[in-house]
Structure 1
């Protein structure tokens, strides 16, 4: 199993949420045992995500996969088939809307992430794009899969595995000097990169002198990113992460200005990419 595919337990919970006491309409019509087919297609160009989950939802309800299933991360043109499921109408109706909606939302995130990555690489083919932990609460595993499918990476999976020093941390440090803070963090967590979010160029220079691994420049104009880049000596460990307001329209400019990493939340707010679903009777 792909490690970024949702588990059966998670998929069962999603299916149960839509049919907590069965499908009233299908039962009332008496059509549940009739055989049929569900065809899912991309309505518009998209980076696909969630097709593995859609397939597995079908299998969990006894449906059969007919033909190939397109993989998450594939770029689809409008009209291309994603997957086809066959089986009883009761199962098709149980799976239909949950599978469709999951693919639509995740493909929206993946497509947006892919657009930002493509724009950034036009400015610097070596730059990395990372997506924040600002996904809707409870959707982290699915959102991470979508981000990865779009060619980006997670910025912070959790508070437990990253060192990112905000001004909100530094208010509790008293008069401790930046170099002392970096030294203490490096001793405490020797395998972690030390990231410091800085508000202006004076703060950036102070933490650059302190040898921080990454300076996170929150909502900085492109010109200011470029000026700070000129202060970083060749071979320095310090990298620049431009964050706040990064999207496909400005990613190339920030990449050209010298940012090593772009940090963005934009994909989580992208519109879903429509998946067209057609049900037919056998």
Structure 2
């Protein structure tokens, strides 16, 4: 699976951040023109991610990759070859750390997302896992690619994309009935689903009856989720469980009947190590 690749300007920014004026050590040693090979392997089991970006980083610095890399989204075992780059030692050293670090952080998120999806699907094989926009600032491109590689989907890419009515929005609406709020949003954005976040069953049913498309239960137990699912059964609304959902409780929320699990947990995952060998050839 390769949902998308980063644009060159972002990859050049990552490369330039690490060596804005070249590699002082390689230049000082006078080894820059020596031919070499840069080999990346999974040090631990992981879901590979951003291997395509590593290859493109190499291409931007004149390196070649003779064999296609392992594709993002591929589960691999420890020791598995991810990709190999060939070229000048100066360029290999320039690409080494930015590519390795990007793959490690992305693989951590992708692997955690895959574990969360697997846990949820033990409770319901049809469950969807959606990851919030609570990424590390500046890391959205990597984070979204990684959760997609792990089998999850974005919950919201940003405020411009979806309609999600929080209590913080409703505080400005005064006594407007829920049905009137739903109608207002449908008039303005007729092609978009109306999602409403609530804190309990009574509030949930007010918005279910008002015609909301999705009810997002924030920090509710699986037991509360099951109660709302049962109460809302005659209506078309979907029920999403959010707030504190992780791999340890995803199965319980899925068994409770939630249609969607909303989580930011994968973004807190530890990087999955990628082993690197850089050596001369020829």
Q: Which residue of 2 aligns with 1:181?
A: 181
**Displaced runs of 4+ in structure 1, greater than 4 A?**
none
* 1:220–1:242 CA contact under 8 A, matched in 2: yes
Q: Which residue of 1 aligns with 2:216?
A: 216
Query: CA separation in 2, counterparts of 1:105 and 1:174?
Result: 44
Query: CA separation in 2, counterparts of 1:61 and 1:105?
Result: 22
For the aligned residues, what is the CA RMSD?
1.0
1:103, CA displacement in angstroms?
Answer: 0.3
Query: CA separation in 2, counterparts of 1:67 and 1:195?
Result: 45
CA spacing shift, 1:104–1:200, aligned 2, 3 Å: same
Q: Which residue of 2 aligns with 1:131?
A: 131
Deviation readout 1:136-170 (Å, 9 max, x if unpaired):
12221221111110000000011001000000000
Q: Which residue of 2 aligns with 1:114?
A: 114
Query: CA separation in 2, counterparts of 1:247 and 1:200?
Result: 20
Q: Which residue of 2 aligns with 1:275?
A: 274
Q: Which residue of 2 aligns with 1:83?
A: 83
Give unmatched runs, 5+ long, in structure 2.
none
Say if 2:263 is the partner of 1:260. Answer: no
Give unmatched runs, 5+ long, in structure 1.
none
1:86, CA displacement in angstroms?
Answer: 0.9
* 1:217–1:225 CA contact under 8 A, matched in 2: yes
Q: Which residue of 2 aligns with 1:202?
A: 202
Query: CA separation in 2, counterparts of 1:281 and 1:59?
Result: 19
State TM-score, norm by structure 2.
Answer: 0.97
Deviation readout 1:43-90 (Å, 9 max, x if unpaired):
111011000000011111111113331000000001000000111110
SS at match of 1:38: strand
Query: CA separation in 1, counterparts of 2:258 and 2:239?
Result: 5
* 1:66–1:83 CA contact under 8 A, matched in 2: no
Query: CA separation in 2, counterparts of 1:115 and 1:98?
Result: 26
* 1:4–1:141 CA contact under 8 A, matched in 2: no
Q: How does 1:1-282 map to 2 (within 5 A)?
A: 4-234=4-234, 236-282=235-281
SS at match of 1:209: helix
SS at match of 2:231: coil
SS at match of 1:196: strand
Query: CA separation in 1, counterparts of 2:236 and 2:227?
Result: 18
SS at match of 2:70: coil
Deviation readout 1:81-106 (Å, 9 max, x if unpaired):
00001111100000000000000001
* 2:123–2:254 CA contact under 8 A, matched in 1: yes
State TM-score, norm by structure 1.
Answer: 0.97
1:178, CA displacement in angstroms?
Answer: 0.7
Query: CA separation in 1, counterparts of 2:5 and 2:56?
Result: 10
Query: CA separation in 1, counterparts of 2:90 and 2:181?
Result: 61
SS at match of 2:270: coil
Work out the number of aligned pairs and report it.
280
* 1:133–1:157 CA contact under 8 A, matched in 2: yes
